[in-house]
Amino acid sequence: MKQKNKFDGDIVIVGGGITGSSLACLLGEAGFGIILLDADIKSEHMSEKNDPRVFAITIASERILRKAGAWVFLNKENISPFRRMHVWDKNGNGEIHFESASICEPTMGYILPHRDILDALHERICDLENVRHIKGVSPIKIKREADAAILDCNNEQQFKTKLVVAADGSNSKTRELLNIHYQKYDYRQSALASIVTTEIPHDEVARQRFSDDGPLAFLPMKNPYKSGIVWSSSPQWVEELLKFDMATFHSELEAAFDNKLGKIIESTERKVFPLSRAQAEHYVQPRFALIGDSAHTVHPLAGLGANLGLLDTASLAEILIDTFNLDRDIGRLQVLRRYERWRKGENRQIMYLLDGFKYLFENQFQSVQWLRNFGLDVIDDMPIVKNMIMMRAMGLKGNLPKFARNHA
């Protein structure tokens, strides 16, 4: 693909996280001239080593990462398939079990450390000659022309391009410069993340316990005794958990998890993240598009945040590649609105579905507690319904972009 001399690149992507980097890989593979602006100044392979965040990656996201060329760069020692899932209500006997074998799939997905995904994407970018990864740079001013967008950056560089994609997170500076309203709802919860070693092996089962103060998830890692945990609760309680010495924290965690995996033997540094749900009023403007957390955030109770971002990435990449192949302008509003119509409605549905789950499981009315426990048990005895839920959650069904399908 040839780029016109008057442009510095076909597309400037602001944000070198998972969504921005995966888009750079997909579009770089397709031949676009890409400039990836990354505010992070750390060098390659220097993602934060004590980052305890792990992501439950769906089959759809696995396919996107494979087609982006990044999967082969993942540390094989840290690719952790999970084949079963167990969900239960702490305030009752209701529970539900999912198993990939019931739909003839080898796995439900993979648990991957955040830093591993990012490092793999950045390694792939190093192989793409038409992708320039520029670190320590972020936009401070935006100008729009009829056929171009111009970014003035903090290092006095200027970039002229056909399209700017904002992938710079929930506090997106690009979105702010575009004056796009970001409607945010504070859940009044925080999430504590850590990696723990347990007395009993996890057997490749992802487990999630719901209670009226928030969900607690144990995500199985490659080592059969290690799990990544995400514990969502009130900011006050999470702050207490952060202050506890290791023995007290382990004792509280064992009790909260109903001792499903026995004693907690050890744990890594605990880190805390505030939780909110947000949606940008617009995902696109002429010459600009938002993806991932720049466009939306969701509650982590189903582990869907990174997966929704990757679906944004794959959807936008498909539309841009198709548009280029038709020799049309990739920055036109009519083109970008196809992406907005595709992803905004689907993301909104997921937001409200997760909100519904959150409030259902946090409701303390006895009648509601009885109904939800009864519902869990009923669905657990309905394999057809369970399999439909599982296939949708795994990214095997739905309006998927071609990069998320089995054949593309």
Domain assignments of the chain as residue spans, ordered by start: 9-47+114-184+277-404
In tens, the pLDDT along 188-223 reads 889 999 999 999 999 999 999 988 788 899 999 999
Q: Which of 101, 60, 61, 63 is nearest to 82 (CA)?
A: 101
Do residues 111 and 395 lie in contact, with contact meaning Cβ atoms separated by under 8 Å? no
pLDDT score recorded for residue 148? 95
In tens, the pLDDT along 295-305 reads 999 877 656 78
Q: What whole-number distance in Å separates Cα of residue 174 and Cα of residue 152?
A: 11
Q: How many CB atoms lie within 10 A of CB 103?
A: 16
Q: What whole-number distance in Å separates Cα of residue 118 and Cα of residue 138?
A: 19
Sole residue written with tokens 């109903």: 258
Least confident of 326-340, 348-362, 390-404: 348-362
Do residues 10 and 317 lie in contact, with contact meaning Cβ atoms separated by under 8 Å? no
Name the CA dihedral angle for 106, 378, 347, 359, rounded to a multiple of 10 degrees: -130
Q: What is the mean pLDDT of the chain?
A: 90
- For residue 52, pLDDT over 90 is answered with no
pLDDT score recorded for residue 372? 73
Q: What whole-number distance in Å separates Cα of residue 9 and Cα of residue 6?
A: 9
Tell me the helices (H) and strands (E) count for the chain, helix number first: 10, 20
Pairing state of beta strands 9-14 and 158-166? parallel
The domain made up of 9-47+114-184+277-404 is a member of CATH 3.50.50.60: yes
Tell me how far CA of residue 136 lies from CA of 24, 33, 50, 150, in angstroms: 17, 20, 21, 18
Q: What whole-number distance in Å separates Cα of residue 268 and Cα of residue 147?
A: 50
Q: What whole-number distance in Å separates Cα of residue 278 and Cα of residue 378?
A: 33
Q: What whole-number distance in Å separates Cα of residue 37 and Cα of residue 153?
A: 9
Q: What whole-number distance in Å separates Cα of residue 11 and Cα of residue 34?
A: 5
In tens, the pLDDT along 137-153 reads 999 999 999 899 999 99
Cα 252 to the chain's mean position, in Å? 28
Q: What whole-number distance in Å separates Cα of residue 153 and Cα of residue 298?
A: 30
- For residue 96, pLDDT over 60 is answered with yes
- For residue 48, pLDDT over 90 is answered with no
Which tokens in the block code for residue 14?
Answer: 């602001």
Tell me how far CA of residue 99 lies from CA of 119, 204, 208, 313, in angstroms: 30, 11, 14, 28
With cut-offs at 50, 70 and 90, classify the pLDDT of residue 408.
very low
Which tokens in the block code for residue 217?
Answer: 């998830």
Tell me how far CA of residue 43 lies from CA of 22, 33, 71, in angstroms: 18, 22, 20
Q: What whole-number distance in Å separates Cα of residue 170 and Cα of residue 186?
A: 13
